[in-house]
Amino acid sequence: MQHFELNGQIREVAGKAAIKAFRKQGLVPCNLYGPGLENVLFTVNAKDLKAVTDTPKAHIIDLVLDGKKKYTAVLHELQWHPVTDICLHVDFLAVNDKKPVNIEVPIVITGHAVGVQKGGKFFQNARKLRVCATLKNLPDEVTIDITSLDLDKKIKAGDVKLDGITVTTDKDAIICGVKTTRNTVVATEEAA
């Protein structure tokens, strides 16, 4: 999985007035927590944070706080302004090489479904899949081949098998499929 370095400044103050002041300066308040780690409050530049939040890719984030303290983390939770879509707050989860990480990774669809060639319509319900693995086994993306997908067939999260990786998305969650269209039904009736 790709690593992304993000620089931040540790903050000592908390509270609404301090948070508002940070946001006016173009800074986003953040929190880092994890097993065996005391909560670390810090801020990052909103423009630097966009490189991580405005991409479909998943990243392991190397946090560098005050130019010296380094932490390895993943995005855990983001809070957005409901109108302006500005990131208001970010929670990071500290990770290490020993414990498995639960993270969402993007899904990449490859191939041309047999059902679409027969006149069906392809649909995709999920763009990301939640997986659990150690840092070295985490994939950048999950590739799903739909070449053998026929009419009225679906691929569920439980159908995805990856080596050394556990899929933690609900096994009945539908990722993609091919629906029968009216034109397909008419063509089948005419052929009969």
Residue range 149-180, pLDDT digits in tens: 999 999 999 999 988 899 999 999 999 999 98
Distance CA 79, CA 188 (A): 50
> What domains, with CATH codes, occur in the chain?
3-96 (2.40.240.10), 102-191 (2.170.120.20)
Q: What is the mean pLDDT of residues 138-157?
A: 92
pTM for the whole structure: 0.77
Assess whether pLDDT exceeds 80 at residue 148. yes
Q: Dihedral of the CA atoms 46, 90, 129, 64 (nearest 10)?
A: 70
Distance CA 140, CA 104 (A): 10
Distance CA 60, CA 95 (A): 9
Tokens standing for residue 153: 């067939």
Task: For the chain, state the CA radius of gyration.
Answer: 22
DSSP 162: B
Give 158's strand partners.
none
